[in-house]
Amino acid sequence: MHADIVSLDETRGFVNNSPFVNAIVKQALLSPAYIYSLENKTTTDFRYFADNIRIPVEDDVYHPAYDNYRLRE
């Protein structure tokens, strides 16, 4: 879990599991894994951590801004 990240709208203060930030971190970890594969080197560290980053989704409909986020009604 990625904790203490400022929410994208900056009004909620620090939040947990921002899907936007988690997606960027996942891509940042997949890039070196890809470069290693081009050089025929094996590493599982980058891939392991990238595969275990959670991208929150609610009811397969939308990505909440952070953990415990609720849409306004």
73: pLDDT strictly greater than 50: no
Contacts of 22 (CB under 8 A, 6+ apart): 2, 53, 54, 55, 56
Q: What is the pLDDT of residue 10?
A: 66
Q: What is the pLDDT of residue 60?
A: 72
CB 50 within 8 A of CB 33: yes
- The residue that leads in pLDDT, 2 or 70, is 70
Domain parsing of the chain, residue ranges: 19-62
Q: What is the pLDDT of residue 3?
A: 58
pLDDT in tens, 20-69: 888 888 999 999 888 888 888 777 788 888 888 888 777 777 676 767 66
Band of residue 72 on the pLDDT scale cut at 50, 70, 90: low
